[in-house]
Amino acid sequence: MYKYILETVSGINWMGILPLVIFFIFFVITLVRVLRKDKEVIKKMENLPFE
């Protein structure tokens, strides 16, 4: 289904879609890792510049 939708758009280039997909996957992985971090680790990292 997605392939059909993307092919119908004129001028679409896979070289433009690939970086977007890679960025989205990287962003989601980073977001999941941040949300799963222990709160104590976050507090420790938060105070590192002041130590």
Ramachandran sector of residue 11 (left: φ over 0; alpha: ψ -120 to 50; beta: rest):
left
CA distance 10 to 28: 29
pLDDT at 1: 65
Distance of CA 3 to the CA centre of its chain: 22
pLDDT at 42: 86
CA distance 45 to 51: 10
Report CA Rg, the chain.
19
Query: Residue 20 belongs to what domain range?
Result: 2-50
Q: How many domains does the chain have?
A: 1
pLDDT exceeds cutoff 90 at 13: no
Task: List pLDDT tens digits, range 17-44.
Answer: 888 899 999 999 999 998 998 999 889 9
Distance of CA 41 to the CA centre of its chain: 22
- 3 or 45: which carries more pLDDT confidence? 45
Is pTM, for the whole model, over 0.75? no
User: In residues, how long is the chain?
Assistant: 51
